[in-house]
DNA sequence: ACATTATATTCCAATATCGGAATATGTCAA
DNA sequence: TTGACATATTCCGATATTGGAATATAATGT
């Protein structure tokens, strides 16, 4: 068996750097394909293919406007990734917690000084 | 050119469902390989290989203990993913914002009723 | 009907993947 | 040293990927 298909889920779709770039670009508003092509400077088929993958997993939607196809970000689809990563938050915030405690202790000492 | 290497970055490493499973398991505490093997029921080489990828990108670290190798989660490495996804938060919270407004409006109407 | 514009699709080569089987390496114990 | 245990590595087959080139499709204007 080979690697999990790219179109299988959001995690795979987003693993490709170029696709993340496209999503970032679309986060500022919907865009027709050609705008993405000119802004990013990639060959048009490359852009279309990546948009195809993103559409397949629901990360973008498409609307026809004349002969243009306007793509729009569907950001809710990124929430599962956010939530999954966030579920590990504890493991990177522990250090900050300790820093917090330290700072609180400093403050306490300061107010002790004040009360003198 | 083929797909971006799995060992290239965290996003790719985490795109594989089995590797996410391993990370979730390690989030409860460090474990030697064999514990992971028996808990997940996967062939030992499969587990070792996935651990290898995770170690390569720094998502886990390893410590020798006798003939065992104990793996530990390095959760800070997931923060970039969290932050990236969070940067799109606006696009999925807008609906909720609107829902909030709606609910607040409902409440206001209710208290108007109360005041009658 | 035809040319033009905008985009998608197909075919291809090079490459990287994942899992399985077998085997190698490393560590301890007797 | 020999054996048992824990884990990593190598080799392999089947498959999916990405980008490029060429081409197909679709919509518009003349």
CA of A66 to C1' of C1 (A): 21
Residue B116, pLDDT > 50, answer: no
Q: Per residue in A64-81, pLDDT tens?
A: 999 999 999 999 999 999
Within an 8 Å CB–CB cutoff, is residue B99 touching chain A?
no
Handedness of CA B76, A15, A21, B86 (dihedral sign): negative
CB-based contact B4 A16, cutoff 8 Å: yes
Structure tokens at A76: 């809710």
Q: Residue A65 carries which DSSP code? A: E
pLDDT value at B99 more than 70? no
pTM recorded for the entire structure = 0.83
**The pLDDT of residue B87 is above 60:** yes
Q: Which CATH number fits domain B1-73: 3.40.30.10, 1.10.10.10, 1.50.10.20, 2.40.128.90?
A: 1.10.10.10
Neighbours of B50 (CB within 10 A): 22
CA B31 to chain centre: 18
B27-CA/C25-C1' distance, Å: 29
Q: What is the mean pLDDT of residues B3-19?
A: 87
- State the average pLDDT over residues B36-64: 97
- With vertex at residue A81, the alpha carbon angle to CA A75 and CA A87, rounded to the nearest 5 degrees, is 135
Percentage of the residues of chain B whose pLDDT score is greater than 90 = 70
Going by C-alpha positions, the residue among B64, B62, B69, B53 that lies closest to residue B20 is B53
């Amino acid at each position: 068996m080979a690697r999990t298909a790219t179109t299988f889920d959001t995690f795979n779709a987003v693993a490709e750097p170029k696709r993340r770039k496209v999503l970032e670009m679309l986060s500022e508003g919907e865009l027709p394909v050609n705008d993405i092509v000119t802004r990013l400077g990639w060959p048009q088929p490359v852009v279309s293919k990546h948009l195809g993958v993103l559409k397949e997993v629901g990360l973008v939607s498409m609307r026809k406007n004349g002969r243009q196809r306007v793509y729009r970000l569907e950001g809710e689809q990124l929430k599962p990734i956010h939530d999954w990563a966030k579920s590990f938050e504890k493991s990177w915030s522990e250090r900050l917690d300790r820093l917090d405690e330290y700072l609180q202790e400093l403050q306490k000492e300061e107010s002790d000084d004040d009360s003198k």
